[in-house]
Amino acid sequence: MILVTGATGNVGAEVVHTLAAEGEPVRALSRSGETVGLPPGVEAVAGDLNRPETVRESLDGVRAVFLMPGYEGQRAVLADARAAGVERVVMLSGKSAKVVDDNAVTRYLRASENEVRESGLSWTFLRPVSFMSNALSLADQITKGDEVRVPFPGVRTADIDPSDIARVAARALLSPEHGGRAYTLTGPQSLLPSDRVAVLAEVLGRDLRTVGLTDEETREALRAAFPAPYAEAFLRFFGDGILDESQVLPTVEEVTGRPPRTFLEWARQHANAF
Ligand SMILES: NC(=O)c1ccc[n+]([C@@H]2O[C@H](COP(=O)([O-])OP(=O)(O)OC[C@H]3O[C@@H](n4cnc5c(N)ncnc54)[C@H](OP(=O)(O)O)[C@@H]3O)[C@@H](O)[C@H]2O)c1
């Protein structure tokens, strides 16, 4: 049995589907214990990672855990996992975990990785760059008109499809050979925000026009969308340029045997969200 936390999220839901498609018994954990959209046979459970006592029972009979990072109860959840006989944990981290900077994101990712290293469980860290699904934040603008205002217009990133993170996660959950590895994961192309808008325009058959936000507008937009410490972290990463996500890496293909999906493929699959 594999326990997948964050099971209704961008990555967790894909991990659940990938494992279920391979015939693995899966338990899908979220606070709601949502069952809608789960493949047949997957067991939905409710649990709050900030309250370890609500997760404990879900660890029964589990051999590997897909873990979301940064929750307050993490150390206790890991200790309970060890006590329950769990063998390994695959944690969703981020490329920014490697950046030497003291901001809200690097702090929680580094602390989460350290707790996992100290847990005594075999571990694998997945350190993806930005997700292609972040483009869903443009959906509101796109449904309203053809002008698409984007933050950090000059920053190239090799965004990854969450389903590719999930395919790597599945390999690491099912085989011991990935223990002690930290995988930096990227998509297949390094694109500007305007390149992604052009792909969306093609897929949607629309005449979309990218307008780059100025530095000040980017700051305002991030502060409106995220709690202040996270907005500041993103400004450090992409405004000050301390996080480079432009490089395309071969890791997804090396681990899974298949190249990662392009933004065009992601956009076609999610076209009706726009
Ligand atoms: N977006 C990016 O570009 C990017 C890049 C690199 C790394 N990351 C990392 O990826 C992670 C986010 O992944 P995602 O986009 O797949 O997540 P997501 O779509 O935001 O989903 C979060 C999941 O966690 C569950 N959840 C939230 N609070 C919980 C709690 N207290 N206890 C148990 N479950 C809880 C949610 O379900 P319920 O609400 O029902 O509980 C949901 O299933 C973050 O840690 C981020 O640092 C993101």
pLDDT tens digits for range 114-127:
999 999 999 999 99
Whether the pLDDT of residue 36 is over 90: the answer is no
From the CA of 96, give the closest atom in ligand 1. 6
Confidence bin at 170 (pLDDT 50/70/90): very high
Q: How far is the CA of 11 from the centre of ligand 1 (A)?
A: 8
Ligand 1 pocket mutation pick from 3, 16, 29, 31 by most atoms within 8 angstroms of CB: 31
pLDDT reported for residue 204: 98
Whether the pLDDT of residue 57 is over 90: the answer is yes
Confidence bin at 35 (pLDDT 50/70/90): confident
Q: Phi first, then psi: what are they for 180, rounded to 5°? A: 75, 10
Q: How far is the CA of 210 from the centre of ligand 1 (A)?
A: 28
Alpha helices in the chain (DSSP H): 10-21, 74-83, 104-117, 139-144, 162-174, 193-204, 215-225, 228-234, 251-256, 263-269
pLDDT reported for residue 34: 85
From the CA of 70, give the closest atom in ligand 1. 45
Q: What is the rounded average pLDDT of the residues 137-145?
A: 97
Q: How far is the CA of 68 from the centre of ligand 1 (A)?
A: 6
Confidence bin at 18 (pLDDT 50/70/90): very high
Q: What is d(CA 227, CA 103) in angstroms, rounded to the nearest whole number?
A: 13
pLDDT reported for residue 41: 93
Q: What is d(CA 180, CA 176) in angstroms, rounded to the nearest whole number?
A: 9
Nearest CA to ligand 1 atom 6: 94
Per residue in 77-119, pLDDT (tens digit) is 999 999 999 999 999 999 999 999 999 999 999 999 999 999 9
Q: Kindly list the distances between the CA atom of residue 153 and the CA atoms of 150, 197, 244, 262, in Å, as whole numbers in the listed order.
A: 6, 11, 14, 20
pLDDT reported for residue 178: 98
Whether the pLDDT of residue 222 is over 90: the answer is yes
What residues does ligand 1 touch, defined as CB less than 6 Å away? 5-12, 30-32, 34, 48-50, 68-71, 92, 94, 128, 130-131, 134
Q: How far is the CA of 156 from the centre of ligand 1 (A)?
A: 24
Q: What is the pTM of this model?
A: 0.97
